[in-house]
């Protein structure tokens, strides 16, 4: 697990150092309406498979993932091209690391709502070995976006 995380961090930092202007553009998910549990499950599945369709389903500027503040790294990159490269590299790196550790989408089950407030829903699922996976689905300007993913 540490090797995979190190690989992802190396990819992230190398893309971060490639430098480049900050853009406030945020694409919008236009797929079928999903409840927050189904939305989180879909985001997890797309990330695990390395599918770039997940790009519009994540709040990249605020994302925290497994103890890493991806949002801060993303915001420190200037230029749309460099940010795009960073995100695609992140998705690819996450998927590769996940699969190298033997992870599959089928190893994660029992998706359910953990907690909810006015603007966020925390979704949990049972990961391999019974470790809980927690994902936060935020409601930003009427859109669902994942802002946090952690393993407990």
* Sheet of strand 132-140: strand arrangement: 68-69, 64-65, 143-151, 132-140, 120-126, 109-116
C-alpha 84/C-alpha 74 separation (Å) is 10
Instruction: Tell me the percentage of the chain whose pLDDT exceeds 70.
Output: 79
Provide the pLDDT for residue 7.
43
State yes or no: pLDDT of 19 exceeds 70. Answer: no
Q: Work out whether strand 143-151 and strand 132-140 pair parallel, antiparallel, or are unpaired.
A: antiparallel
Q: Which sequence spans correspond to the domains of the chain?
A: 2-22+34-151
**pTM, to two decimals:** 0.79
Largest CA distance in the chain: 42
Give tens-digit pLDDT for 38-93: 999 999 999 999 999 999 999 999 999 989 999 999 999 999 999 999 999 999 99
State yes or no: pLDDT of 34 exceeds 50. Answer: yes
* 23-27, 130-134, 136-140: least confident range: 23-27
Q: What is the dihedral of CA 132, 40, 95, 8, to 10 degrees?
A: -70
CATH topology of domain 2-22+34-151: Nuclear Transport Factor 2; Chain: A, (3.10.450)
C-alpha 129/C-alpha 41 separation (Å) is 18
Backbone angles phi, psi at 118, to 5 degrees: -60, -30
State yes or no: pLDDT of 94 exceeds 90. Answer: yes
Residue 129 pLDDT class (50, 70, 90 cuts):
confident
């Amino acid at each position: 697990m540490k090797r995979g995380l190190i690989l992802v961090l190396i990819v992230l930092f190398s893309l971060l150092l490639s430098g480049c202007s900050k853009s406030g553009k945020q694409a919008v998910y236009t797929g079928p309406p999903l409840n927050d549990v189904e939305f989180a499950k879909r985001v997890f599945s797309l990330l695990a498979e390395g599918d770039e369709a997940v790009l519009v389903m994540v709040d990249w500027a605020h994302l925290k993932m497994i103890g890493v503040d991806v949002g801060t790294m993303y915001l420190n990159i200037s230029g749309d091209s460099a940010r795009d490269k960073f995100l695609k590299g992140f998705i690819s790196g996450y998927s590769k690391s996940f699969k190298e550790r033997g992870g599959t989408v089928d190893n994660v089950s029992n998706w359910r709502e953990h907690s909810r407030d006015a603007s966020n829903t925390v979704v949990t699922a049972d990961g391999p070995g019974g470790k809980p996976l927690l994902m936060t689905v935020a409601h930003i300007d009427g859109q669902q976006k994942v802002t946090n993913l952690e393993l407990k």
